[in-house]
Structure formats: structure tokens, C-alpha cells
């Protein structure tokens, strides 16, 4: 079984302020996305940046076979949301953007305005597999690409850049905490016996503090001496599969010429022992062809494909 995650990059129909400007560019984007999904052939694919549900329907219409779709009903201000494409029927078990109890609202801009929920909802589904039920949550945490008052992508000065970088970090940390709370609910303290995965665009790299929040109890990461040493934390841990990705493929986006792995798949104890392979892009390809993105996301409007590579794991029985 192949489980994956992919940021589809502004999946809107033509005419939207964020989507392709004409039908030809839209159809080219859809064809590019469909070709990757077809070759990837996932059993379950978490997706991000679905701007319009109808656009995802158009994409699914270009795929062979039967697909089941689940979308979060909690988009952000631009209308983008997370969801799943599945080869089998899906049951939605959670669609939430709530911060956990005791986590206070965080500042989001110079006005002092605060946010008390994630900008985009987290969606969790359950699917049936040969080894039992699999529960998976998909998320899209606050971006590192900064937006300033007046929809500017460039600051007036370095003080403003620093402040808005801090606001984005506050939000991403709070959202990671909320996502970990959802993971706790899915694990129910029983990760040794439950197949659980948390995946999506986490908007930071493996060792970032916000990504580390998602792991749960420290220790036992893949590649460390504690990995093969059972302990009580195994029931509540999640393992980031990043170390299993070949080093030359260990990135999912290119930011200003710099490769970074910001899309992640984390799995429970019962699942991690059955992972047989992990990668980015297409299995067996070994080559990623990603554009380099800059601080202004509008530069990519109407471009084919996505500025992210899919990230995937193959899980055996």
C-alpha cells in the first residue's frame, strides 16, 4: 500500500484571483497533476491547497478508476483546504481547526489581533485495509512565506520582516500543537496496536521545533540508537519517515534555490515497522524537477504542475 501527501499548489478553476488565467493553462495544470497521481498510484493521498472543490472534481475526472474524495469544510481566507483522494471508501472521523484546551490565542499582526484556531482545518479519515483500519490526518500548517499588511509580500523594513516572521512562527507552533492533540486522539495511547498516520505540508523541516512537536515522547527516532529499543513512549510516538528517504531525494520544495523537506509523513509504532520504502517525487524516478520559489507566490500563478513534490511511503503487511 502506498500512502502519500502532496501540495497541489493553488488548485482553482480559471477566473479566480489565485488560479490560472485561462482554460488552456488550467487544463495543462490538471494534466500535469493527473499524470503524477496516475504514476504514483496511491491507495490514499492527502492533498493540500484545494482552492475549489470543483477543481478537485475536475482533477479526479482525469484519473482512471474509481476514487473517493473527502475535503475539509474549514478552508482559510483564500478558500484553500486539505483533503484526501482514496481508492476505497473513506469515513471522516474529524474535521477540526480547534486549538487544544489551555493553549491561548496567538498574535497574528501588528494590530495585536489574535487567532484562536488553525487557519486551515485538519481532516482525519478512516479507511479499511488488509491489516485493519487505518486512520490518517492531513494538515497544512502556517506558511513560512510572509504576507504583510495590504497583501504585500515584501516588508517596509527589517523590523517588520522580523515581527511578521515571529507572528507566522507563533501560529505554526500553535497549529502544530493542535495537530498533535488530534494525533493524541487518534492514537488513544495505543500506537502499538493502531495504524495511525499524520501527514501534510508542515511548512518546516525535520529538525524544526514545530515539526518536532508532532513526534510526541522524545527518543527512538529512525536512525537513532533508541529506535530498536521498546519503551513506554512507543504507544504515543509518531515517527517521521524522512530518514528513510534517499538523501539525494530528501526535499519536497526548492526555496530561493535551497532544497528543503517541508512535507512530512509521520506514522505510529505499528505502522513504522512495516514501512518498506519512502521517497519524494515518483517511485523509481530518483530525479526531482522542481521550480525554485521566491517570496512572492503570485509569480507562480497559472504555472503547470506544483511547486511541491509528493512525499510517500510504501507499507507492507
What pTM was computed for the model? 0.96
CA-nearest of 279, 267, 174, 262 to 216 is: 267
The pLDDT, as a whole number, for residue 287 is 67
3-state SS record for the chain:
CEEEEEEEEEECCCCCCCCCCCHHHHHHHHHHHHHHHHHHCCCEEEEEEECCHHHHHHHHCCCCCCCEEEECCCCCCCCCEEEEEECCCCEEEEEEEECCCCCCCEECCCCCCEECEEEEEEEEEEEEECCEEEEEEEEECCCCCCCECCCECCCCCHHHHHHHHHHHHHHHHHHHHHHHHHHHHHHCCCCCCCEEEEEEECCCCCCCHHHHHCCCCCCCCCCCHHHHCCCHHHHCCCEECHHHCCHHHCCCEEECCEEECCEEEEECHHHHCCEEEEEECCCCCCCCCCCEECCCHHHHCCCCCCCCCCEEEEECC
pLDDT at 317: 82
pLDDT, mean over the chain = 95
Q: What is the pLDDT of residues 50-77, one digit of tens each?
A: 999 999 999 999 999 999 999 999 999 9
In the chain, the number of structural domains is: 1
Closest CA to 238 of 293, 291, 195, 202: 195
Taking residues 164-172, report their average pLDDT. 97
Q: Which pLDDT score is estimated for 5?
A: 98
pLDDT tops 90 at residue 134: yes
- CATH code where residue 62 lies: 3.60.10.10
Q: Is the pLDDT of residue 122 over 90?
A: yes
* Predicted local distance difference test score (pLDDT) of residue 286: 65
**Would you state the pLDDT for residue 102?**
96
**What's the rounded Cα separation, in Å, for the pair 278 and 250?**
10
pLDDT digits (tens, 9 = 90+) for 179-206: 999 999 999 999 999 999 999 999 999 9
Domain span at residue 237 reads 2-315
Please determine, for residue 221, whether its predicted confidence score (pLDDT) is greater than 70.
Answer: yes
List Cα–Cα distances, 28 to 34, 148, 291, in angstroms: 10, 31, 16
Lowest mean pLDDT among 16-20, 132-136, 260-264, 313-317: 16-20
Amino acid at each position: 500500500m502506498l500512502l502519500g501527501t502532496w501540495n497541489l499548489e493553488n488548485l482553482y478553476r480559471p477566473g479566480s484571483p489565485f488560479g490560472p488565467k485561462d482554460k488552456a493553462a488550467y487544463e495543462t495544470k490538471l494534466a500535469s497533476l493527473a499524470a503524477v497521481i496516475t504514476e504514483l498510484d496511491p491507495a490514499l493521498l492527502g492533498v493540500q491547497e484545494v482552492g475549489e472543490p470543483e477543481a478537485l472534481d475536475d482533477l479526479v475526472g482525469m484519473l482512471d478508476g474509481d476514487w473517493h474524495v473527502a475535503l475539509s469544510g474549514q478552508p482559510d481566507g483564500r478558500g484553500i483546504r486539505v483533503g484526501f483522494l482514496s481508492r476505497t471508501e473513506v469515513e471522516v472521523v474529524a474535521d477540526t481547526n480547534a486549538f487544544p484546551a489551555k493553549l491561548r490565542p496567538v498574535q497574528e499582526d501588528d494590530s495585536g489581533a489574535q487567532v484562536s484556531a488553525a487557519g486551515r482545518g485538519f481532516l482525519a479519515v478512516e479507511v479499511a485495509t488488509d491489516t485493519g483500519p487505518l486512520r490518517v490526518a492531513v494538515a497544512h500548517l502556517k506558511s513560512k512565506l510572509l504576507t504583510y499588511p495590504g497583501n504585500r509580500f515584501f516588508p517596509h523594513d527589517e523590523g517588520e520582516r522580523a515581527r511578521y516572521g515571529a507572528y507566522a512562527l507563533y501560529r505554526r507552533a500553535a497549529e502544530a500543537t493542535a495537530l498533535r492533540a488530534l494525533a493524541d486522539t487518534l492514537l488513544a495511547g495505543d500506537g502499538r496496536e493502531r495504524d495511525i498516520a499524520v501527514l501534510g505540508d508542515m511548512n518546516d523541516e525535520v529538525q524544526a521545533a514545530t515539526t518536532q512537536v508532532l513526534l510526541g515522547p522524545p527518543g527512538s527516532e529512525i536512525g537513532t540508537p533508541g529506535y530498536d529499543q521498546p519503551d513506554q513512549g512507543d504507544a504515543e510516538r509518531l515517527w517521521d519517515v524522512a530518514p528513510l528517504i534517499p538523501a539525494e531525494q530528501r526535499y519536497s520544495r526548492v526555496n530561493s534555490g535551497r532544497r528543503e523537506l517541508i512535507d512530512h509523513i509521520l506514522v505510529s509504532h505499528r505502522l513504522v515497522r512495516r514501512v518498506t520504502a519512502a521517497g519524494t517525487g515518483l517511485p523509481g524516478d530518483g530525479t526531482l524537477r522542481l521550480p525554485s520559489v521566491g517570496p512572492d507566490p503570485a509569480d507562480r500563478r497559472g504555472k503547470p504542475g506544483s511547486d511541491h513534490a509528493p512525499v510517500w511511503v510504501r507499507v507492507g503487511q
